[in-house]
Amino acid sequence: MLTKRIVPCLDIKNGRTVKGVNFVNLRDAGDPVDLAEIYSKNGADELVFLDISATEERRRTLVDLVKRVAQRINIPFTVGGGISSVSDVDRLLKSGADKVSINSSAVKRPELINELSAAFGAQCVVVAIDAKQIDGEWIVHLVGGKVPTELNLFDWAKEAQDRGAGEILFTSMNNDGTKDGFANEALARLSNNLHIPIIASGGAGTMQHFADTFIDGKADAALAASVFHFKEIEIADLKAELKKQGIAVRI
């Protein structure tokens, strides 16, 4: 049985880790290099590093910060933000990233998914999707959730898979930062529609929320930020609770 993964997420702005609610009202959560090392030592299965203002500011991801994080951790490391070409990914992988996450750039030019998958393998390509439920339909948003598109979450996720994505990282903008739980109904539908792993993001507030997204949402991994950054949930305690509920995790 494949183990379920616990994935802390470092949202980076101006070189610092930040966290908000529903993608706004950001507050400082600490030094990303120090946090990454703590999570690596404390049982995280993977780490996601998102340079959240790179796309909006039309610049590349902070390569120097990626190098510093990679030197301090020994778990898989996904980097996203401002990635729009094969050369961008090559630079990040050489700096220590194991996988890359693409979002706005993939929607604007879907062929990028094909190109990255062909160049580096599907296992390296995570397509991140920020979507908001509006009048019952999940609408894909770009540029850190600021720009709505006409894309439907489920159609876009299927296209991303078919183009060569190795994983889908779905963030529910409705749930993000609320600590009311993940969007499990949408996650289960994604899982049923696709054959690649689904990472749940947005809404973690309690240990039970993680258990629910693995059981009800059928997620393969659960990503969270503030509950880990502000020590509301310790990863070791979370994994012990999940194991107690019969969920396979790496201890």
Rounded to whole angstroms, the Cα distance separating 202 from 181 reads: 8
Helix, strand, coil fractions of the chain, as percent rounded to 5:
35, 30, 35
192: which strand partners? none
Given the residues 45, 51, 88, 130, select the one marked as catalytic.
Answer: 130
Active site residue 31: no
Active site residue 155: no
CB 11 within 8 A of CB 47: no
Structure tokens at 102: 């693409």
CB 47 within 8 A of CB 77: yes
Instruction: Show the beta-strand stretches assigned E in the chain.
Output: 5-13, 16-21, 24-30, 47-51, 77-80, 99-102, 125-134, 137-142, 147-152, 167-172, 198-201, 221-224
Rounded to whole angstroms, the Cα distance separating 249 from 3 reads: 5
152: which strand partners? 139
Four-CA torsion 40, 208, 201, 157, nearest 10 degrees: 120
Could you list the active site residues? 11, 130
